[in-house]
Amino acid sequence: MAMKTVEEDEVGISCFISDLPGFRGILKQRYSDFIVNEVDRDGAVVQLSSLDAPEEELESVQENGTNTSDTVVSYASRIEAFKILAGEPDAILLEEFVNKINAGGEVSVSPIVLSPDSDKSHRKAVHNFFKENFKFLVTDVVDGPDASLKCIRVRLNSAEPNNKGKNSKKRKERGDKPFDSRGSENWPENVGKFLRFHIYKENKDTHEALGVIGNMLGIQPKSFGFAGTKDKRAVTTQRVTVYKQRASRLASLNKRLFGIKLGDFCYVKEGLCLGQLMGNRFTITLRGIVSDSEDIIKASADALGRLGFINYFGLQRFGSGSLPTHLIGAALLRGEWKLAVDMILDPREGERSAIAKARKYYKENNDVVGTLKQLPRYLVAERAVLQSLKTSPGNYLQALKSIPRTLRLLYIHSYQSYLWNHAASKRVQKYGTEQVVLGDLVNCKENSTAKITEFVGSEYPEDCSGGYDSSNQNEISVDIHEDINSCVKVVDAEDLNSGCYTIDDVILPMPGSRVKYPTNHIANVYEDLAKKDGISLTESVHNVEEFSITSITGCYRRVFQKPINFEWELLTYSDSNKQLVETDLEKINKSAPTNTVKPIDVGNGKTEEAFDCIREFESSDDFPKVENFKDIAGEEVKLPHGESLCDSSSQDSHTALKLSFTLPASCYATMAIRELLKTSTSVAYHKTLNQ
């Protein structure tokens, strides 16, 4: 039986701050209706302002590691020269081949075969070109498609003096790389080893976008660093770092990238790590507003800015579609490995027919190999589990551990979030939203804001040692420093009398071994829910640390969150396809000379349809995006027939509400919009708007 989509009340999302009535609107009718700009730790909003590489380029680097500014031609220039000699197709093939070698693929990279060539003198010229310009490569001749044609084969020169042999795998011994990469010494000492740039993307997931760029550069995904993932169905701008790459090389990709632009390049000493951001700046446009009066909209918008919203973990925290990640997390905490594997692989409601067919096939036949042939590669967890079961049938714990660590830990974090949401709802139901009460947990006033933010505002680790892995999804670790409780206290009678704490200071713990719990009735919510699920918050029933609540430190989260620098505006429009807010790229186009920069369009001449983006537009940077944007189609969302507020006599005039605000990392924009509209954020609910 297919699992059903998770509803809000199932994961503890049930309360609102204000009692104002809601209204209806179309969310992300166009993906440009949802614009996200990262905010760095200095509070600066990250924007795409230039697509050009810096004027001063790095010194060219010789193959032996010495620098020169005059005598050595860069490999990009050599490939350009090869294009003149052999043609563009072979030049592209050569560039990709060299990039693969640079990415660390000396051992596994396969030779390339150039286009058939019947001209012997031309073939000789090609051989000589490689001898002079690519000493780490060798060429020979192989038969072409018929007897009159020959092809030049190009492969890595295993006899090169600096090459330690085909079977050498030690990175420090790889002294013949054509480009610098991790472990290479061939980089100017006076230049930062990381290139930082701003990536602008439209309707693309962060991991997918970096995967595309990595393929074009021929480098491993772990070479990239970033502070957090951004939404797929949106227009987003964020910072990225890459190890030892030239700005000019990345800037040259812009003409070949679709839906992605790179710019604002600079060299820095350190790469970005997850969590190194203050938050995100959102510009959200709700189209097709339908309400009984304009006053309701104005009052609701004012209330959101003044009162904020309950800082719930949104539905996306608990899985895309119908994947019940908190239930999987509960099974892991109980040590029920087979049950957890079954939930990961079982059929689900609402999936594409090909995936549903593959899941059903496995459920009925238990054929691992046959199922792997049917499952798409972007189903990371499912494929990892099946690959493990293929080699070790019946070893379900090993299968679970084969899932990328950051993704499998999210199952545990999802269960923590499930408990937190229920505790937050109970706090609102029992004690309201206006006053601090006895036994509440709050941030200590004597601690600095910076220190408090360390434990309350972010759940990201800052461990860059492992790099970025495209198969791993965004890690939200709650294992934090030993003094986690130094900035948290329980409210006592003296605190209440002094009035030094307000409702904005109230926090609740994410369960772990080192957190405090409130000393009022809210503490019972954690214990009662966990007990109902057969889980102890103080003892582990197994010795697998990463799946044990007692091995997780825990952290704290603010119960009520106000949008920062909140602004709103009512707009009138008649064309649903009209862009209502300028993107970063459009601002560049306005200031750039004619035809310098081409705008990104939807493609195929198609107009975007209204899209139910609720499940995908979370403000948080904390849930894995394992869906491939090429395979997931939008779902149309239409409002019931109704007149526009601005002109009830015209069917062509519509009202939109533009919202601009900043949220700290790990806060969900869906929860802010939920407070405004007073409607569920579940996909199932929004599907009813089509009926």
Secondary structure (3-state) at 193: coil
Sequence-ordered alpha helix ranges (H) in 311-404: 325-334, 337-345, 353-365, 368-374, 380-391, 396-401
Number of other CB atoms surrounding residue 641 within 10 Å: 7
**What end-to-end distance do the CA atoms of the chain give, in Å?**
26
From residue 5, alpha-carbon distances to 8, 9, 343, 439, 683 in Å are 10, 12, 13, 36, 8
Q: In this structure, what DSSP letter does residue 511 have?
A: P
> Which single residue is written with the structure tokens 């990262």?
38
**Helix intervals (H) in 541-627:** 584-591
Q: What are φ and ψ of residue 523, in 5° steps?
A: -60, -30
What is the DSSP track for 73-124?
--HHHHHHHHHHHH-HHHHHHHHHHHHHHHTT-TTTPPPEEPPPB--HHHHH
Separation of alpha carbons 396 and 379, rounded Å:
18
Neighbours of 524 (CB within 10 A): 14
645 neighbors 294 (Cβ within 8 angstroms): yes
Closest CA to 618 of 560, 584, 665: 665
Nearest to 31 by CA among 285, 206, 256, 261: 285
479 catalytic residue (yes or no): no
Q: Considering Cα of 125, then 128, then 133, then 135, what sign does the dihedral take?
A: positive
In angstroms, the CA 85 to CA 332 distance is 60
Q: How far apart are CA 315 and CA 300, in angstroms?
A: 22
Q: Which of 180, 205, 231, 264 is catalytic?
A: 231
Residue 660's DSSP bridge partners are 283, 567
Per the structure block, which two tokens stand in for 288?
């097709």
d(CA 181, CA 159): 22
H/E element, 532: helix 522-532
Q: Any idea of the CA torsion for 34, 37, 38, 39, to the nearest 10 degrees? A: -120
Alpha-carbon gap, residue 402 to 399, rounded angstroms: 5
User: At a CB cut-off of 8 Å and minimum separation 6, what does 157 contact?
Assistant: 135, 136, 137, 138, 163
Taking each helix axis from N to C end, the angle separating 405-431 and 380-391, rounded to the nearest 10 degrees, works out to 130
3-state secondary structure of 126: helix
Q: Which two tokens stand for residue 651?
A: 């069917």
Q: Give yes or no for a contact between 407 and 380, defined as CB atoms under 8 angstroms apart.
A: yes
Question: Is residue 335 within 8 Å of residue 547, measured between CB atoms?
Answer: yes
Between CA 449 and CA 458, with CA 453 as vertex, the angle to 5 degrees is 170
Classify residue 616 by burial, with Cβ atoms within 10 Å: 0-12, 13-18, 19+. Answer: buried
- Cα separations in angstroms, 401 against 409, 453, 546: 10, 32, 10
Active site residues: 231
